[in-house]
Structure 1
Amino acid sequence: MTLPSNPRTALSALAIGCALLVTACTPVGAVLGVGAGTGIAAYQERGVDGVARDIGLSSRILDQYARNDHTLLAHVGVEVYESRALLTGQVKTEDERAKAVRLAWKVDGITDVINEIHVTTDGGIIDTARDSWISAQLEAKLTFDEKILAINYAIETVGGTVYLIGIAQSADELERVKNHARAIEYVRHIVSHVRIKAPDPAANPPATTQGS
């Protein structure tokens, strides 16, 4: 995709795209499309308000990039989940990577910035296409696995490394997600920033002992 030469125009296009494709970063969203966005968000662990908050934070990070260095828009991927910003992509210098992280931290409401940006001159159109193919394959696998709540995961792939962020119902579910990723051709590494959901105390009340 060719970005508009005007940074603010680029930002507007990206922001509108994010708003319309609120579920595009999740497996079920990719399958069901834009019309079901609100309904899907309601079923996510973070809820409709959480999804809206994260979309807003992501847009504000993109705004920082557009205002300060619009080339970051083309090289750095931003995924915000539960106010945690996952930055992925490939840049050519350490200064670019540091700038991307610093600008993300400037956004009020961001509680953590996960820096997975690589400094490299490798990569290109073929690698980008392959990474997109890997993400699409994994999204499909998670979507049709009834033992995984796919809507709670977001996926980014860069240079054959799969990055995961979201909420897992259990360690077993997360391992199942990783196994799906391992089975995909060209996947080199899997990096998880997924939070495992805490058990519900109400579902497993502590045992009581009777007095003598």
Structure 2
Amino acid sequence: MTFSRRPHQWRDGERRRTVGRWIRLFSLVGVAVASAGASGCAPLVIGGAAGTAVVASEHRGLKGFASDTDIRAQINHLWLQHSLSLANRIGLTVDHGRVLLTGRAADAQMRLDAVRLAWQADGVKEVINEIQVDNESGILDSARDTWISTQLRTKITFDGDIHSQNYSIDTINGVVYLMGTATTQDEMDRVVQHARSVPNVQRVVNYVRLLSSL
């Protein structure tokens, strides 16, 4: 009687390929989440498996996260091709295909170009234009805005009644822009309340949607 090891070898090979695919997926998602966190748009998470866990806990899930990441990459590419200055000055947040544009444009034409190019990306459902035409703000203004966003991110992260991973925060000239998905109206109200409580906040603009409305 002879014994063949082929089935066992095939299972080992298939197992290695499957593990390899998951490792690559975890690594890619982990890098994407870490990059988003560094820009202030999402919590900073280092590590592939941890990054995947955070993304999976978002209301949009892995598929929605991947779609929004692709839209963001397309728009950034279009902006870079058009103008390095535009890409550096304009902020970008994507949630469920909705694109929020913020930042300080050098002039009205740059503002128009940013919106026009954003609409060219595949998968875009809506473009919200909150770009300010401002060529006078300096490093101190940017530092103050970053401080405001950091303070607010800290507040909602340590609030046990808020799923902070579902919110994006951007601050321009003291105006806080919120985007994302709230589990309940009470949760949304808590986030807005936290934003208004941060010193130097001039105004809060809320583009957060309720999960029940999606």
Contact conserved, 1:162 with 1:190, CA < 8 A, in 2?
yes
The sequence identity of aligned pairs, in percent, is: 40
The DSSP-based 3-state class of the residue aligned with 2:131 is: strand
Alignment map for 1:149-160 (pairs within 5 Å): 149-160=163-174
The yes-or-no answer on 1:170 pairing with 2:184 is: yes
TM-score by length of 1: 0.81
Partners of 1:183 and 1:52 lie apart in 2 by 33
Contact conserved, 2:102 with 2:129, CA < 8 A, in 1?
yes
* Structure 1 unpaired stretches of 5+: 1-16, 201-212
TM-score by length of 2: 0.80
The yes-or-no answer on 1:70 pairing with 2:98 is: no
Partners of 1:163 and 1:115 lie apart in 2 by 11
Greater helix share, 1 or 2? 2
Matching residue of 1:83: 97
The DSSP-based 3-state class of the residue aligned with 1:21 is: helix
Partners of 2:169 and 2:143 lie apart in 1 by 15
Contact conserved, 2:41 with 2:170, CA < 8 A, in 1?
no
* Structure 2 unpaired stretches of 5+: 1-29
* Alpha-carbon distance change, 72 to 155 in structure 1, aligned in 2, over 3 angstroms: same
Contact conserved, 2:41 with 2:93, CA < 8 A, in 1?
no
* Alpha-carbon distance change, 86 to 18 in structure 1, aligned in 2, over 3 angstroms: farther
Partners of 2:138 and 2:120 lie apart in 1 by 30
The yes-or-no answer on 1:184 pairing with 2:198 is: yes
The aligned length equals: 183
Cα-Cα RMSD: 2.1
Matching residue of 1:57: 71
Partners of 2:135 and 2:151 lie apart in 1 by 26
Read off the aligned partner of 1:33 and give its amino acid letter.
I
Q: Which moved more, 1:65-74 or 1:93-102?
A: 65-74
Q: Tell me the CA shift for residue 45 of structure 1.
A: 0.2
Contact conserved, 1:22 with 1:37, CA < 8 A, in 2?
no
